[in-house]
Amino acid sequence: MTSHDPRDDRGALARRKPYHMLGTAVLVVAIGLVVIWLKVVRGGENPALFVETFAARRGPLTIRVLEAGSLSAKDPAIIRSALPRRARIIWIVPEGTHVHEGDLMVELDVAELVDHIVDHEIMVKNAEASWISARENLTITRSQAQSSVELAQLRYDFAVLDLEKYQGEGGQFATDLAEARGRIKLNEEEVKKNEDYYAWSQRLYDEKYLSSTQLQTDQLALEKSKLNLQVAANNLKLLQEYNSKRQLAQLISDVNQAAMALERAQAKARATIAQGEAYLAAREQEYENQIERLQRHRDEVAQSKLYAPSDGMVIYATSSESSQREGRRPLADGVEVWERQELIYLPRSTSTIAAVSLHEANLQKVRAGLPVIVTVDALPGKRLMGTVTRIAPLPDPQSMYMNPDLKVYKTDIALETDDPALRSGMNCKAEIIVEQHADTVYVPIQTVRRIGGKPAVFVLTGSGSVEERTVEIGLDDNRMIRIVRGLEEGELVLLTPPKTGAAASGSRLAATRSEEAEDMARQITEKLKAAGEFVPWSRAAERRPTESQTMTSPAPGAAGPSSGNEQDKRGPDR
């Protein structure tokens, strides 16, 4: 009996291994050649056999929009920080607590305001004292101003009376004039009398009845009377030509000076009173401002405690979805809040709404009044009916801040149930029913193309050719699109558009693409011409600098090495 050596089997297997590998390689190459022949040779004859198709279906189709959001109370009472500055929370009611109207919910730190109130009480008293002092000083100022004006008025009246007394009928001037003329008359009579006495004395002296001494006495009396007459005449002349004019000018000046003094007194009185009134108004305004500040601080201290306006369950504002996206710190003792910050939501009723963010692509589909099916993550298997009640007119600014390329619109959905298991802040998904068709034709949305501005599909005919067909479409649900007319159930449509040569004769695909390209090129050319930037191809080729010219082009205004020769060859520019 001969023994079998296993090493002989391993050697034979090793000798046959290269042949197996060679056979495998030949088989792979053959399969590859067959595939290439099918794709190139047979595909050139009918490439539509190698594209994916979809058979148009007929049946029920629901056009829906799916969006995510969260639950919130309908028309909740919003508790905000009423302090006009940042403040820390001293105490806050635990979230989820059921409170009654008037219960304390939040207390803010206002220790600094209490110190300010004490300081402002002192400032109010000082302002009140200044206001009272200004009021009394104004009374004194008015009295002094009135006295000054009355005194100036009296002096003016006296000056006017003195002027009238002097130059009026029967006045001082007329009296002085009559007195001067009377003296002249008396002196004239005295001169006549003394002349008669002297004549008689001279006659008596000549007859030796009178002594020379007596004659000289009579002569002296005559000379004296003549001298008195001359003095009286001179006094009359002085009165008429000098004294009266001087006195009249003085009296007129006194009247004018008194009038100006009266005006100055009146103006000074008005200015002094106006200054006192302005000072009083300033002190009064300062007093009122200090009272207002004091009252504002007292109100702020009162507003540091926030009470429940109605019964309800406490929900922190930081528990909402938007606050979580913003990364706000949850409310707790010691957390700092700012002015008008929302702190607590207090539901006023058991009604609940679903707040979702509607993408701008679905904005034209959704409208108020559409039915909605809402599912809550915390209540699996439960479907709630609702209605779209409001769509924001503008995109959500918070989402735009987080992602400028994302435009969503806040949409409120009113739920038709008051299930006590629903809680604000629960995540939910909303299925907005836009349209619902019991029997319609629909195809995948990617099968519909816009050709020449009209929707069209590519239908695979029974002969294996591709037919371009214009259809009338309805709405889509981002997956399937409704075909109103133009396509029948069971017809095969291409999921991707065919190559230009694959469509049947008369297809508008290539022609439309060519027309669109030519139309776009024509519009670009017209706009460039209008902008003055159009250069024909031949001139553009001439103007295009070579690489060497670009690298060695001289600076503006500087001549290159061969600029002179080239200029000589070309001649002057035209």
pLDDT digits (tens, 9 = 90+) for 353-398: 999 999 998 898 899 999 999 999 999 989 999 999 999 999 988 7
Closest CA to 458 of 424, 419, 430, 486: 486
Give the separation between CA 516 and CA 520, rounded to whole angstroms. Answer: 6
Residue spans of the chain under pLDDT 50: 1-14, 17, 35-45, 47-49, 323, 501-506, 533-574
The residues, ordered by sequence, that sit 6+ positions from 468 with a Cβ below 8 Å of its Cβ are 451, 456, 457, 458, 459, 503, 504, 507, 508, 509
The predicted structure's pLDDT at residue 27: 60
- Backbone φ and ψ for 563, nearest 5 degrees, come out as -70, -35
The predicted structure's pLDDT at residue 574: 31
Reduced to 3 states (helix: H, G, I; strand: E, B; else coil), residue 25 is helix
How far is it between the farthest Cα atoms of the chain?
239
For 499-528, write each residue's pLDDT tens digit: 654 444 445 555 555 566 677 777 777 776
Give the separation between CA 333 and CA 108, rounded to whole angstroms. Answer: 9
The predicted structure's pLDDT at residue 30: 60
The residues, ordered by sequence, that sit 6+ positions from 157 with a Cβ below 8 Å of its Cβ are none
Reduced to 3 states (helix: H, G, I; strand: E, B; else coil), residue 415 is strand
The predicted structure's pLDDT at residue 35: 47
Closest CA to 165 of 257, 252, 236: 252
pTM of the model: 0.52
Give the separation between CA 204 and CA 210, rounded to whole angstroms. Answer: 5
Q: For residue 371, how far is the Cα from the chain centroid?
A: 39
Residue 192: other Cβ atoms inside 10 A: 12
Q: Cα-atom radius of gyration of the chain, to the nearest Å?
A: 60
Give the separation between CA 93 and CA 105, rounded to whole angstroms. Answer: 5
The separation between the first and the last C-alpha atoms of the chain, rounded to the nearest angstrom, is 115
User: Would residue 557 be called left, alpha or beta, if left means φ above 0 and alpha means ψ between -120 and 50 degrees?
Assistant: left
Q: Which CATH number fits domain 114-302: 1.10.287, 3.30.110, 2.60.40, 1.10.3470?
A: 1.10.287
> Which DSSP helix (H) or strand (E) runs through 362?
none
β-strand 87-92 against 342-346: which pairing, if any? unpaired
> What sign does the dihedral 151-156-161-163 (CA atoms) show?
positive
What CA–CA distances, in Å, run from 23 to 1, 20, 30, 31, 212? 37, 5, 11, 12, 203
Q: Where exactly are the structural domains of the chain?
A: 81-109+304-348, 114-302, 441-526
The predicted structure's pLDDT at residue 442: 94
Q: In what order do the strands lie in the sheet with 104-108?
A: 305-307, 104-108, 87-92, 336-337
The predicted structure's pLDDT at residue 42: 43
Task: Check if the beta carbon of residue 514 is closer than 8 Å to that of residue 522.
Answer: no
Task: Check if the beta carbon of residue 118 is closer than 8 Å to that of residue 99.
Answer: no
Q: What is the CATH code of the structural domain delimited by 81-109+304-348? A: 2.40.50.100
Enter the tokens of residue 44.
Answer: 């050139």
**CATH 3.40.50.720 given to domain 441-526:** no
Task: Check if the beta carbon of residue 124 is closer than 8 Å to that of residue 290.
Answer: yes
Give the separation between CA 542 and CA 525, rounded to whole angstroms. Answer: 19
Q: For residue 543, how far is the Cα from the chain centroid?
A: 51
> What sign does the dihedral 420-423-429-430 (CA atoms) show?
positive
